[in-house]
């Protein structure tokens, strides 16, 4: 499985490198007013990817950290050894006498 994961990341890296080499052209980016910045296309795509990835990654790590904290707090407050509840008593309760005989199967023809 590790081999396939490594092979996948090598393929992704090769695709990104080939795309970057073939599209290494300057791209004008109009910011605000008359400000124009010329940057290479792969760098522009990398910046756009990071703008979308970093906030979601930070949010994911914060949620994971919060869940780990809650779980460790629950583990600290729970008793160390939990005893199972006693099994229920088999049979009718003492002093119970049925007043009617049990009914037959309602789906059976008599």
DSSP state string for 46-66:
HHHHHHHHHHHHHHHHHHHHH
Q: Extract the tokens encoding 33.
A: 């007013």
Give the H or E element holding residue 68: helix 41-77
Residue 82 sits at φ, ψ, to 5 deg, of -100, 130
Tell whether the model's pLDDT for residue 110 goes beyond 60.
Answer: no
Tell whether the model's pLDDT for residue 14 goes beyond 90.
Answer: yes
Q: Extract the tokens encoding 34.
A: 């008359």
Q: pTM higher than 0.75, yes or no?
A: no
pLDDT on residue 32: 87
């Amino acid at each position: 499985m590790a081999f396939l994961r490594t092979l996948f990341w090598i393929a992704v890296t090769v695709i990104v490198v080939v795309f970057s080499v073939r599209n290494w052209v300057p791209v004008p980016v109009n910011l605000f007013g008359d400000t124009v910045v010329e940057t290479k296309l792969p760098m522009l795509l990398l910046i756009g990817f990071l703008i979308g990835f970093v906030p979601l990654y930070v949010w994911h790590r914060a949620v994971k950290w919060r869940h780990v904290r809650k779980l460790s707090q629950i583990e600290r407050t729970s008793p160390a050894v939990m005893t199972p509840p006693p099994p229920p008593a088999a049979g009718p309760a003492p002093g119970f006498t049925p007043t009617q005989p049990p009914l037959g199967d309602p789906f059976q023809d008599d």
